[in-house]
Copies of this chain bind each other. A is one copy, B any other.
Amino acid sequence: MDLRKTFNTKAQSETTTGFGTNPSNYGGRFINKDGTANVSKRGTNLLDRISWYHTMIAMPRWKFLLVILLFYVVVNFLFAMLYFSIGIEYLDGIEADGSAWEKFWKAYFFSAQTFTTVGYGHISPNGFLTSTLAASEALVGLLSFAIATGLFYGRFSKPKAFVRFSDNALIAPYKDGKALMLRMAPFKNNNLTDAEAKMTLGMVIDVDGKPESKFFFLDMEMRKINALSLSWTLVHPIGEDSPLYGFTEADFNNTEGEIIVYLKAFDDLFSATVAAGTSYLFNEIIYGAKFDMMYFENAANTRTILQLDKLNSFKKVDFGA
């Protein structure tokens, strides 16, 4: 681990990150690129640690559909086994002289027709036990679809920020000096207002020969904007009070550090506050570069075009010196 030997004593320390100061308690980065904390939980059993709703909601779409399909197949299989065990003769409409396999798959599809409440009726239960089982399966089926309805709604109504951050942060020219810049852009057809950002720097610093995790508040040219319709470049001017004051390209390359970014905005369509975040390790910071403009008027001069593919586009800049 490379420590930063000194730090700017004028920099404003940030004590409210929720992380402590002892670096040997932490492994790897603090915050992942997707904005979640780089933390695993242990010490209780999995079920206690997992909110299955959060899990089902956060799951990729193909996985979610696969889980539903598997559930459907397995539950039908289990019920088919039960119908089969009770006896196929209690299911009217299945020929007694078929093979065991044929009887089983017919029981299986009877189960599917009951679970989904299609109930064609060419196969129907006639014994007490089989009827009870079928009545139970229909209940289980309807409740399963009640849960599926909730999960589908939960998945697509979940407020999401739909904001992308640039892959890199830049040290760019700014007025007479430099500034740390990174940018973000909304990429879907939602409407974000009252956006507010927060930037924090985490570094491991040598304090009297002992490594210590230090966090610094990074002041920004603008912390809030009324509407996040276009790209937004967050600018931390590296002035005398900045913890990054005097950092050279070598410093960024040789030191362990991390820029943590949080964003909150109000989504007009969801009528909800949405959040997003990311982090940049020092080796994800490009020293001497500036972002290309990413929006332009259209040909007819009636509308502004936001070029999403230019989010990561920048030009190298030589700071001379």
Residues of chain B lying within 8 A (CB to CB) of residue A293:
22, 25
Q: Are B225's CB and A17's CB within 8 A? A: yes
- The smallest C-beta distance from A243 to any residue of chain B, in angstroms, reads 16
Q: How many copies does the complex hold?
A: 4
A262 at the interface (CB under 8 A from B): yes
What 6 A-B pairs are tightest by C-beta distance, nearest first? A27-B297, A37-B229, A150-B153, A43-B309, A121-B121, A118-B119
Digitize A24-42: 1 where CB-to-B-CB distance is under 8 Å, 0 elsewhere. Answer: 1111100100011111111
CB closest chain-B residue, reference A233 = B20
Query: CB-CB < 8 A to A306: which residues of B?
Result: 39-43
Chain B residues near A39 (CB-CB < 8 A): 229-230, 295, 303-306
The answer to whether A49 touches B150 (Cβ under 8 A) is no
Decide if A67 is an interface residue (CB 8 Å cutoff): no
Assembled-state Cα–Cα distance A109/B125 (Å): 9
Residue numbers in B under 8 Å from A52 (CB-CB): 156
Interface bracket on A:
35 or more
The main secondary structure of chain A at its interface with chain B is mixed
Q: In the assembled complex, which residues on chain B have CB atoms less than 8 Å from the CB atom of A68?
A: 139, 143
* CB-defined contacts of A316 to chain B, threshold 8 Å: none
Contact B40 A303 (CB under 8 A): yes
**CB-CB contacts of A104-146 with B at 8 A, as 1s and 0s?**
0110010011101111111111101001101100110111011
- Interface segment, A168-176, A191-199, A203-211, A245-253? A191-199
Chain B residues with Cβ below 8 Å from A282 are none
Contact, CB under 8 Å: B134 / A109: yes
Q: Are B122 and A269 in contact (CB under 8 A)?
A: no
CB neighbours (8 Å) of A44 from chain B are 187, 308-309
Q: Is B189 a contact of A55 with CB atoms below 8 Å?
A: yes
- Name the residue on B nearest A32 (C-beta): B303
